[in-house]
Structure 1
Amino acid sequence: MSGDRESEEPDGVWGPVLEIACDESGSDGENLTGGNTDVFAHGSVSLSVASAAATVREIRDRIRSPAEEYKANHLLREKHRAVLEWLLAPAGPIHGRARVHLVEKSYVVVERAAGLLLDGPAEAPALYRAGHDTFGEEGRRSFLEAANRLLRVRDNGDPVEAFYGTVEALRRAHPGTEAARLLGRLAATRARAVAYRAEFLAGPPLIPVLNPLLPAIVRTAALWSGDGRAVRLVHDRQNMLTPDRIAWIEEAAHRSGVALAGVRLVVARDDARVQVADFLAGIARKIASDELNGRGDPALTALLRPYVDPDSVWGDARSRALLAAPPAG
């Protein structure tokens, strides 16, 4: 995957540095089960400022909306389908120069709960399948909401009692099943949950367990670095991206062997590259959500597939297979 030459620059410490512009779509903070979206997307592009500006101008010329700032929703309208297909097509302006990391939010809740309470996330796939295959839609929703409440930093009620009450009710409702076995293991972990909630009395953690943005940024840096090349990320401003958290991102990337030369925050409307990353993130989130919910558009899914990070986070095997990018080469 190659970017514009103009997006590479020398750096006194890192050597050649590739500047990657990023933005997200579908962020609801730690509310992964009661928000407006069921997929989180982190888009990134390797474009020069000039190329990105030309792409934004072309989109505006083709859509001709009077809106001051264009968003992915403009491209997702059926009357602008041709513009969307042009943007994603192999001959389009971002093909080979853009990637998107996708996260199924409900699976993150299950994975984090298993990681905290069951000595690691190994049981997460089975617990996720139990929700779909055994609990029924109402039971699945109850479990996800209770787990989300338990794990998120702020909750005004008693999330520990609510979670274990839900676990016990589901276990009684489905005796003798594999789901009941897993729920039995969870029922024995109350002390861990109490200890986890007690930690918040000393203050909220720097890195919330459930927020998908921070690990997605680290993953994006990993997608673009390598072959002796470092990356610098240019990201839309977010309240979550405080100086301390940016320092954590950089440290986490370095621990993973990722050559991240830094993270710079900008206002999206002032950087055409970030606007294009925002288009990709919003488009990918909608296409992936439709696929996840059984209403996918095969043509759009096929156009999106080359952009999708193979390490995107999915609990649904069908969606993972359909949205997986083909092997390189």
Structure 2
Amino acid sequence: MLTDVTRQHTHVEIACDESGSDGENLTGGNTDVFAHASVDVPKECAAAAIREIRDRIRSPAEEYKANHLLREKHRAVLEWLLAPSGPLHGRAYVHLTEKTFFMVERVVDLLLGDPTGAVPLCRAGADAFGAELWARFLTAANALLWVRGEADAGTGTPVEAFFRAVDALAERAPELRDPDAADVLKLLGGARSRAADHRARLLAAPSLIPVLNPLLPAILQTAAYWRGGGRAVVLVHDRQNMLTEERIEWLKDTARIGGLRLVVARDDTRVQLADFLAGIARSVASHELNGRGDATLTALLRPYVDARSVWGDERSRGRLFGAVPH
């Protein structure tokens, strides 16, 4: 168990890392969950935890990653790391983002001025619309909001492709059990001019804060969590191309933190622990999302997970967050 250490500085350093980053490519990437983990662990305690992990796993790898811990033969080490008696309990936090829900929230908010319509739309999802039509809608929504997004061959511009996809879903509206989903589709169908205006602005001057990248919102949530009690916080984050000097300045002002310092994960054992937790959380959450959850690991992860995570899937929400679904 970690021991409390008297801090000599006016701020607390929180070490952070992420797992599952595909930038703004939320439908064609390699992962369906984005996880941002952070730990409040003194350097000496983090170093001791890393030594313990290496002693238990005994892999010749120079740098350990979450995949080492996720191997079945190292299950005992993984459970030890997350357990109440382990080195992270009470000192770590994970913000999860279900990428599909995050994207649908963004497109609904942009076009309708209110993100709540994403809930019934995602609740219907592939089960109501069919896997092919739902996937086409998601791909088109991604392309509409992404500066690099392109329409499929033969479907015209991203705006035209998106509204073809909306119309295709709307044709299934009479079959929907939830009238709210049908209402959202009707409203989206009338937002063509707003979508075209947004697309034109996006191409003319890409925003400093991309609407589809989940990293920056996750960092804002992380900062808000650790600032609890009025603490002054500095984030120590693994290097990430998204974290340019301009965006770091924006984060400092918006999140009201004392600073954000980028480091190489292998050079900071605290960030290595955050890296382990992010990778583990992404894997456990993805398995739950896809109906392949491990009850033991999910229960061990639950105390670390932010109940305000961006998550729309009702079947997995209660298991991951211990919270009532939307």
Q: Which TM-score bucket, shorter chain as reference?
A: over 0.9
CA contact (8 A) 2:147 2:203 kept: no
* Residue matched to 1:166: 165
Post-superposition CA distance 1:195-251 (Å, at most 9, x none): 001112333210000100001011111111122311110000111001110111122
* Residue matched to 1:82: 76
Q: CA deviation at 1:317?
A: 2.0
* Residue matched to 2:14: 20
Give the letter for the 1:275 counterpart: Q
CA contact (8 A) 2:35 2:282 kept: yes
Q: CA deviation at 1:184?
A: 1.9
CA contact (8 A) 1:268 1:275 kept: yes
Instruction: Identify which of 70, 88, 94 aligns with 1:94.
Output: 88
Give the letter for the 1:207 counterpart: I
CA contact (8 A) 1:234 1:265 kept: yes
Instruction: Identify which of 274, 278, 295 aligns with 2:275.
Output: 278
For residues 298 and 95 of structure 2, what CA distance do their matches in structure 1 show?
15
**TM-score, length-scaled by structure 1:** 0.91
- Is 1:303 paired with 2:303? no
Q: CA deviation at 1:168?
A: 1.1
For residues 186 and 207 of structure 2, what CA distance do their matches in structure 1 show?
29
For residues 134 and 5 of structure 2, what CA distance do their matches in structure 1 show?
49
Give the letter for the 1:195 counterpart: D
For residues 144 and 272 of structure 2, what CA distance do their matches in structure 1 show?
35
Post-superposition CA distance 1:294-325 (Å, at most 9, x none): 11000000100111111111101232211116
CA contact (8 A) 1:3 1:47 kept: no
For residues 14 and 184 of structure 2, what CA distance do their matches in structure 1 show?
42
CA contact (8 A) 2:166 2:189 kept: yes
CA contact (8 A) 1:309 1:325 kept: no
Post-superposition CA distance 1:116-154 (Å, at most 9, x none): 011211211011112144212222211111111111121
**TM-score, length-scaled by structure 2:** 0.92
CA contact (8 A) 1:237 1:265 kept: yes
Give the letter for the 2:218 counterpart: A
Q: CA deviation at 1:155?
A: 2.2
Q: CA deviation at 1:84?
A: 0.3
For residues 235 and 3 of structure 1, what CA distance do their matches in structure 2 show?
23
Give the letter for the 1:163 counterpart: F
Task: Report percent identity of matched pairs.
Answer: 65
What is the DSSP-based 3-state SS (H/G/I as helix, E as strand, rest coil) of the residue aligned with 1:134? Answer: helix
Ranges of 4+ aligned residues in structure 1 off by more than 3 Å:
173-177
* Residue matched to 1:14: none
* Residue matched to 1:108: 102
Q: CA deviation at 1:174?
A: 3.9
For residues 155 and 224 of structure 1, what CA distance do their matches in structure 2 show?
35
* Residue matched to 2:174: 175
CA contact (8 A) 2:134 2:169 kept: no
* Residue matched to 1:5: 5
Instruction: Identify which of 244, 257, 262 aligns with 2:259.
Output: 262
Give the letter for the 1:304 counterpart: L
Matches for 1:1-329 after TM superposition, within 5 Å: 4-5=4-5, 8-11=7-10, 17-157=11-151, 158-175=157-174, 177=176, 178=179, 179-254=181-256, 260-324=257-321
Q: CA deviation at 1:3?
A: 7.8
Which ranges of structure 1 fall in alignment gaps of 5 or more residues? 12-16, 255-259
Post-superposition CA distance 1:70-105 (Å, at most 9, x none): 100000000110010010011011111111111100
Give the letter for the 2:13 counterpart: E
For residues 9 and 141 of structure 1, what CA distance do their matches in structure 2 show?
53
For residues 180 and 220 of structure 1, what CA distance do their matches in structure 2 show?
35
CA contact (8 A) 1:218 1:249 kept: yes
For residues 124 and 302 of structure 2, what CA distance do their matches in structure 1 show?
28
Q: CA deviation at 1:5?
A: 2.2
Give the letter for the 2:169 counterpart: L
Aligned residues: 314
CA-based RMSD:
1.6
Give the letter for the 2:298 counterpart: T
What is the DSSP-based 3-state SS (H/G/I as helix, E as strand, rest coil) of the residue aligned with 1:247? Answer: helix
**Cα pair distance change 1:268/1:137, threshold 3 Å:** same
What is the DSSP-based 3-state SS (H/G/I as helix, E as strand, rest coil) of the residue aligned with 1:96? Answer: coil
* Residue matched to 1:257: none
